[in-house]
């Protein structure tokens, strides 16, 4: 039997945010952590690498966080990289043709803080805005359970105009949840608006990393090492066996025995790594219910600046967000040129298109928003399609998302797809890592708390929690 009087050993399989968060929490609590990551760098789906075609270090995709991401911001503080996040409280929405509207908070109490700017936007009519306000009021009351209806049906039931759907609801939710509105659970759509728009001005701030993602998350690997743990890169786990003496991990470094293991790989990989036997079948069946949705990032290096904005939401076209990375990224082009990344979430229409077709489309659309793009010379470009970027928070999916604790003694699950109550985000992944670490400490009768509470509602939202 395992002797927990000495420091217990924990294998963590997967060096994405879930695995790193669990590893940092447990290493800090005195566990001997060994993290296995099959790639040569950590960060998982939020990582950066040298792009072979351009020679530039690029993020697999621009990642943003919001003020309501309490566990992610705690994780950044814990590993000492909070100063590498740049925060913005203003969002610019641009229509084709270049007309821009800005959304920023006022001094009014939540949930009214954004209302003055919202009613000043030019992309929506007064009727659209009144309809949106009514729907937001309906969301204030409570967070619904994950039921069967999809969010597009909900919007239609709540009398939303086509323009409000296209230029407001879709813009926010397709980026936040990486799915089309008719494939999004009402619970998660409402959660996005309650947590980020309604609860407080702080909750809605947008943060962007100022350094490449793998550099950011390498600080977590360093944290684990500095607390006596190991982070093994290019270490692919091929088998997990759980028994009364702990968990045996088979990987390319060989076989090792641990007291505990946390499986923190994506849902597609998790099923094949579960210990063999009938006990795994219900979990495998549940994992079979998940579906993935793509995101495409289009990286463009120009010989000149085409806008002074650091970022903008682009309306009514395929390209949805523009990030001018040299404005906040220390890795960006600091000469007279500019480095833009355009992001297309739920990019099903781009998956089959060639690199050149996507670049041509992006350049044509970009010029509709920023006419000076027509004169700029494109120096180089990269297209990164993440076909399995995130799982879709489809109506009813919650009943298939597993808890951290499993039927196998000593084996726990983490990953953005586990039962965190959050969608597939960096915040969801960190929450899952903290929850798995908590479940592990509970299992040995020494419960510890790692999960950080949600931001408190402010102003009038205090009435609704
Ligand atoms: C293109 C894109 C854009 C996104 N944008 C945002 C955003 O703006 N904001 C946001 O909050 N979220 C965003 N996300 C979602 C976010 O990146 C993920 O939800 C989060 O990073 C998932 O973390 P994870 O640890 O659960 O999984 P992963 O990051 O997938 O980590 C799993 C790790 O396990 C490793 N692994 C797999 N198999 C093995 C094995 N056999 N042995 C060892 N290691 C193994 C993998 O290499 C990987 O590193 C985006 C995702 C993508 C792909």
Please compute the mean of the pLDDT values over residues 216-223 and round it to a whole number.
98
Give yes or no for residue 415 CB within 6 A of ligand 1: yes
Give yes or no for residue 18 CB within 6 A of ligand 1: yes
Tokens matching residue 57 = 């270090």
Q: Alpha-carbon distance 233 to 402, whole Å? A: 27
Residue 433 has pLDDT above 70, yes or no: yes
Total number of residues shown for the chain: 465
Residue 243 has pLDDT above 60, yes or no: yes
Please compute the mean of the pLDDT values over residues 389-406 and round it to a whole number.
97
Query: Which atom belonging to ligand 1 lies closest to the Cα atom of 296?
Result: 1
Confidence of residue 389 (pLDDT cuts 50, 70, 90): very high
Centroid of ligand 1 to alpha carbon of 349 (angstroms): 22
Give yes or no for residue 13 CB within 6 A of ligand 1: yes
Q: Alpha-carbon distance 431 to 452, whole Å? A: 8
Residue 5 has pLDDT above 50, yes or no: no
Q: Alpha-carbon distance 264 to 37, whole Å? A: 10
Mutational test site, ligand 1, from 66, 234, 265, max ligand atoms within 8 Å of CB: 265
Please compute the mean of the pLDDT values over residues 53-57 and round it to a whole number.
94
Domain 106-200 is of which CATH architecture?
A: Orthogonal Bundle (1.10)
Which residues, other chains included, contact 164 with Cβ-Cβ below 8 Å and sequence gap of 6+? 124, 128, 129, 131, 132, 155
Residue 161 has pLDDT above 70, yes or no: yes
Query: Which atom belonging to ligand 1 lies closest to the Cα atom of 417?
Result: 26
Dihedral, 390, 393, 397, 403 alpha carbons, nearest 10: 60
Give yes or no for residue 386 CB within 6 A of ligand 1: yes
Taking only the tens place, the pLDDT of each residue in 258-269 is 999 999 999 999
Is domain 9-46+212-290+394-443 annotated with CATH 3.90.870.10?
Answer: no
Centroid of ligand 1 to alpha carbon of 199 (angstroms): 28
Taking only the tens place, the pLDDT of each residue in 280-310 is 999 999 999 999 999 999 999 999 999 999 9
Give yes or no for residue 46 CB within 6 A of ligand 1: yes
Q: Alpha-carbon distance 12 to 33, whole Å? A: 7
Q: What percent of the chain is modeled with pLDDT above 70?
A: 97
Q: Provide the CATH topology of domain 292-391.
A: Polyamine Oxidase; Chain A, domain 2 (3.90.660)
Q: Alpha-carbon distance 237 to 35, whole Å? A: 10
Average pLDDT score over the chain: 95
Position 335 scores a pLDDT of 65
> Which protein residue has the closest C-alpha to ligand 1 atom 33?
14
Query: Which atom belonging to ligand 1 lies closest to the Cα atom of 14?
Result: 34
Give yes or no for residue 411 CB within 6 A of ligand 1: no
Residue 157 has pLDDT above 50, yes or no: yes
Contacts 24+ apart (CB under 8 A), 70-74: 70/427, 70/452, 70/453, 70/454, 70/455, 71/21, 71/427, 71/430, 71/431, 71/434, 71/451, 71/452, 72/17, 72/426, 72/427, 72/430, 73/207, 74/430, 74/452
Which residues, other chains included, contact 318 with Cβ-Cβ below 8 Å and sequence gap of 6+? 344, 349, 350, 361, 362, 365
Give yes or no for residue 389 CB within 6 A of ligand 1: yes
Please compute the mean of the pLDDT values over residues 350-365 and round it to a whole number.
98
Give yes or no for residue 416 CB within 6 A of ligand 1: yes
Position 4 scores a pLDDT of 52
Mutational test site, ligand 1, from 11, 12, 16, max ligand atoms within 8 Å of CB: 16
Position 164 scores a pLDDT of 97
Centroid of ligand 1 to alpha carbon of 381 (angstroms): 24
For the chain, the structural domain boundaries read 9-46+212-290+394-443, 106-200, 292-391
In which residue are the tokens 């903008």 written?
312
Please compute the mean of the pLDDT values over residues 395-400 and round it to a whole number.
96
Please compute the mean of the pLDDT values over residues 60-72 and round it to a whole number.
97
Element (H, E) at 162: helix 162-164
Taking only the tens place, the pLDDT of each residue in 413-425 is 999 999 999 999 9
Please compute the mean of the pLDDT values over residues 88-112 and round it to a whole number.
94
Query: Which atom belonging to ligand 1 lies closest to the Cα atom of 388?
Result: 53
Confidence of residue 6 (pLDDT cuts 50, 70, 90): very low
Confidence of residue 402 (pLDDT cuts 50, 70, 90): very high
Centroid of ligand 1 to alpha carbon of 254 (angstroms): 25
Position 386 scores a pLDDT of 97
Position 1 scores a pLDDT of 44
Residue 330 has pLDDT above 70, yes or no: no
Query: Which atom belonging to ligand 1 lies closest to the Cα atom of 72?
Result: 11
End-to-end CA distance of the chain: 45
> Which protein residue has the closest C-alpha to ligand 1 atom 35?
14
Please compute the mean of the pLDDT values over residues 83-107 and round it to a whole number.
95
Dihedral of alpha carbons 174, 177, 180, 181, sign: negative
Centroid of ligand 1 to alpha carbon of 59 (angstroms): 12
Give yes or no for residue 60 CB within 6 A of ligand 1: yes
Confidence of residue 141 (pLDDT cuts 50, 70, 90): confident
Centroid of ligand 1 to alpha carbon of 368 (angstroms): 33
Q: Is 96 helix (H, G, I), strand (E, B) or coil?
A: coil
């Amino acid at each position: 039997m395992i002797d927990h009087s000495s420091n217990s050993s924990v294998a963590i399989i997967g060096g994405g945010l879930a695995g790193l968060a669990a590893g940092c929490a447990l290493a800090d609590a005195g566990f001997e952590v060994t993290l296995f990551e099959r790639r040569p760098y950590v960060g998982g789906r939020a990582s950066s690498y040298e792009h072979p075609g351009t020679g530039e270090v690029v993020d697999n995709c621009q990642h943003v966080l919001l003020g309501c991401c309490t566990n992610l911001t705690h994780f950044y503080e814990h590993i000492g990289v909070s100063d590498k996040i740049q925060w913005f409280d203003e969002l610019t929405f641009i229509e084709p043709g270049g007309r821009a509207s800005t959304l920023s908070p006022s001094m009014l109490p939540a949930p009214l803080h954004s209302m003055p700017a919202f009613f000043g936007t030019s992309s929506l009519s007064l009727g659209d805005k009144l309809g949106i306000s009514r729907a937001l009021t309906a969301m204030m009351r409570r967070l619904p359970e994950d039921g069967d209806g999809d969010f597009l049906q909900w919007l239609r039931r709540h009398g939303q105009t086509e323009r409000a759907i296209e230029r407001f609801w879709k813009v926010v939710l397709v980026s936040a949840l990486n799915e089309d509105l008719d494939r999004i659970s009402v619970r998660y759509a409402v959660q996005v608006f309650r947590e980020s728009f309604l609860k407080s001005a702080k909750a809605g701030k947008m943060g962007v990393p100022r350094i490449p993602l793998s550099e950011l998350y390498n600080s977590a690997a360093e944290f684990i090492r500095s607390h006596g743990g190991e982070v093994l890169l290019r270490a692919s786990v091929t088998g997990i066996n759980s028994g009364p003496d702990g968990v045996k991990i088979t990987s390319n470094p060989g076989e090792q025995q641990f007291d505990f293991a946390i499986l923190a790989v994506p849902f597609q990989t998790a099923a094949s790594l579960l210990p063999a036997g009938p006990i795994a079948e219900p979990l495998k069946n549940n994992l079979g219910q998940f579906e993935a949705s793509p995101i495409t990032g289009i990286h463009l290096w120009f010989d000149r600046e085409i806008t002074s904005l650091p970022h903008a939401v682009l309306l009514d076209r395929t390209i949805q967000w523009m990030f001018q990375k040299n404005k906040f990224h220390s890795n960006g082009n600091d000469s007279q040129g500019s480095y833009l990344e355009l992001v297309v979430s739920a990019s099903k229409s781009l998956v089959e298109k060639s690199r050149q077709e996507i670049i041509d489309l992006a350049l044509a659309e970009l010029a509709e928003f920023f006419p000076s793009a027509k004169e700029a010379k494109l120096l180089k470009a990269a297209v990164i399609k993440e076909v399995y970027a995130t799982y879709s928070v489809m109506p009813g999916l919650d009943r298939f998302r597993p808890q951290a604790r499993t039927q196998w003694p000593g084996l726990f699950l983490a990953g953005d797809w586990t039962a965190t109550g959050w969608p597939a985000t960096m915040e969801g992944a960190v929450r899952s890592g903290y929850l798995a670490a908590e479940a592990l400490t509970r299992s040995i009768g020494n419960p510890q708390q790692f999960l950080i509470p949600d931001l408190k509602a402010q102003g009038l939202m205090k009435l609704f929690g």
